[in-house]
Chains A and B, each alone.
Chain A
Amino acid sequence: MSAGVREPPAADQPLPPLVNPGRIGGLADVLRRRYLLKLLVRKELKVRYQGSVVGVAWSYVKPAVRFAMYYWVIGLLLTRSMENRALHIFSGMIMVSFFTNALSAGTKSVVKNKSLVRKINLPREMFPVASILVSAYHMIPMYVIMLLACLLVGWSPDGGALAAGVLGLAVVLVWGLGIALLLSALNVFFRDMQNIVDVIQTVVTWTVPMIYPFVIVAEKLEESQQVLYQLYLASPLCIAVLLNNRAFWIPASDNPKQAADVELPPTLWERGIVALLVGLLFVWVAQAVFSRLEGRFAEKL
Chain B
Amino acid sequence: MVDSVVVDGVSKRFKLTHQKTIKKLTVNVLKGKPLSRAFTALEDISFTLKAGESIGLMGLNGSGKSTLLKMISGVMSPDEGQVLTRGRIAGLIEVGAGFHPDLTGRENIYLNGAILGMSEAEIDAKLGDIVRFSEMQQFLGSEVRHYSSGMFMRLAFAVAVHTECDIFLIDEVLAVGDQPFRGKCMRRILELKAEGRTMVFVSHSAKQVLRICDRGLVLKEGKVDFLGSAEDAVDHLNYEVDDETDDSSDD
Contacts and interface: CB of A to CB of B under 8 A. Distances in A.
Given A21-B83, A35-B119, A192 B97 contact: no
A115 interface: yes
20 contacts: A1-B188, A8-B196, A21-B83, A22-B76, A39-B110, A39-B114, A40-B111, A43-B100, A43-B107, A46-B103, A47-B102, A51-B102, A115-B97, A118-B75, A120-B73, A120-B116, A121-B73, A121-B75, A122-B115, A190-B25
B103 A6 contact: no
B2 interface: yes
Interface stretch (A12-20, A154-162, A203-211): A12-20
Given A19-B85, A20-B83, A36 B100 contact: no
Interface of A: 1-3, 5-6, 8-9, 15-23, 33, 35-36, 39-40, 43, 46-47, 50-51, 115-116, 118-122, 189-192, 195, 295, 298-299
Nearest to A21: B74
A16 B94 contact: no
Contacts of B133: 1
B125 interface: yes
B47 interface: no
A118 B97 CA distance: 10
Contacts of A51: 102
Given A43-B111, A120-B116, A22 B75 contact: yes
The B interface, classified by DSSP as helix, strand, loop or mixed, is mixed
Contacts, number: 120
Interface of B: 2-3, 6, 14, 20-23, 25, 70-77, 82-89, 93-94, 97-98, 100, 102-103, 107, 110-111, 114-117, 119-120, 125-126, 129, 132-133, 164, 166, 188, 191, 195-196
Contact of A119 (B75, B86, B102, B120): B75
Given A119-B75, A120-B115, 9 more contacts: A16-B86, A16-B166, A19-B85, A21-B74, A21-B89, A22-B76, A116-B94, A119-B73, A295-B76
